[in-house]
Chains A and B, each alone.
Chain A
Amino acid sequence: MKQSILSIVMMTFVLTAVSGQKYFTKTGHISFYSETKLEKFDAHNKSASIVYDSETGKLEAAALVKGFQFEKALMQEHFNENYMESNKYPKATFKGAIENFETIDLTKNGKYAVKVSGDLTMHGVTKKVMTDGQIVVNNGKVEATAEFNVVLADYKINIPSLVKDQIAKTVKIKITSALEMLKQ
């Protein structure tokens, strides 16, 4: 009797563990890129965190604004101090979901086109974003990529008129990341 109760308890435990499978990374790569006739710049962040729940499709990501590295020190200073005000708003976050998560099986090899939507918060402003991405599963390795554009004015990031020709009004954001299964 005791044994059967124990085994039922064990079973439930195992089942919940399997059904709520989470994937994550702490070393997600986010880069952004913008180009005008006068100036082009790109910056990289190597320590973004991403958590994905394959059961519900929920997807959350976060990055430290000061973690974006520019080639030019002055640009990085301006980015932090004038545009993103990273002392006041140190994090950029995304909370959303993969809409077509039911069509994705991360335990099977393949290329999956994904539709992601959710709230992107940066510089103290939250906006809905929507983008297409891709997940590639290869022998247990999960690689996710997505690319989308952000209009700076949407996030109240003001470009002084003096340099408005150097800085594009829209920047392209690219996310590439390997996701690991969370061991429970």
Chain B
Amino acid sequence: MKKWIVFVLVAAVAGFAGYKMYNKKHTDTATAKADVVMSPQELLSAYESDENAANAKYLDKLVEVEGIITSVNAPEKGSSLTMDSGNPMAAIICEFESQEVTKTLKQGDKVRVKGYCTGKLDDIVLSRCSVVATGQ
């Protein structure tokens, strides 16, 4: 009898844990601590000198950068902004899951954001960004 109760309890706990894991939320970049804080120039030069090494170092890391906004875009879902990196052909693209930032930020503004580094095409992309600070 006792054994049976233990079994049910274990099954319930396991089931609950599994359910929780299945529905696990994305880490909120607004509250998570940045893994690395650097300038857009430093991030770009790391990728330009050795892309594989930079990927090994920064992929999936929460990277915090500060710079001047060169454009604000609102695609179908969410929004994004590009940040000046000193090279007009290779900006830092910061993607946001909501469209909130497009209402408050504009080209020329200074902004500090953190997001997960997803790699470099022409530009370096930071995903699921959140704004740390704006202005000076």
Chain B interface residues toward A at CB < 8 A:
21-27, 55, 59-60, 73, 75-78, 80, 82, 91, 93, 95, 97, 116, 118-123, 125, 127-128
Chain A residue numbers with a CB within 8 Å of B73 are: 27
Residue of A27, A72, A74, A76 near B75 (CB, 8 A) is: A27
Chain A interface residues toward B at CB < 8 A:
26-27, 29, 44, 46-49, 62-64, 66-67, 69, 72-74, 76, 86-87, 90-91, 176
Chain B residue numbers with a CB within 8 Å of A76 are: 26
Of A69, A76, A91, chain B has the most CB atoms within 10 Å of the CB of A69
B95 engages A46 (CB within 8 Å): yes
B76 engages A66 (CB within 8 Å): no
Chain B residue numbers with a CB within 8 Å of A48 are: 121
Chain B residue numbers with a CB within 8 Å of A63 are: 121
Residue of B22, B26, B119 near A91 (CB, 8 A) is: B119
> What is the interface of chain A mostly: helix, strand, loop, or mixed?
strand
Query: Whole-angstrom distance from the CB of A58 to the nearest CB of chain B?
Result: 17
- When C-beta atoms are compared, the residue in chain B nearest to A46 turns out to be B75
A62 to B118, CA, bound (A): 13
A-B contact pairs, 15 of them (CB 8 A): A26-B122, A46-B76, A47-B123, A49-B122, A62-B121, A66-B116, A66-B118, A67-B119, A67-B127, A73-B24, A73-B25, A74-B24, A90-B55, A91-B121, A176-B76
Chain A residue numbers with a CB within 8 Å of B97 are: 69
Chain B residue numbers with a CB within 8 Å of A62 are: 121
A46 engages B80 (CB within 8 Å): yes
The answer to whether A69 and B127 touch (CB under 8 A), given A29-B76, A44-B77, A47-B95, is yes
Query: Whole-angstrom distance from the CB of A69 to the nearest CB of chain B?
Result: 7
Name 16 extra pairs, CB < 8 A, besides A29-B75, A67-B95.
A26-B121, A26-B123, A27-B80, A46-B75, A46-B76, A46-B95, A47-B123, A47-B125, A62-B121, A64-B119, A67-B125, A69-B127, A69-B128, A72-B22, A74-B23, A90-B59
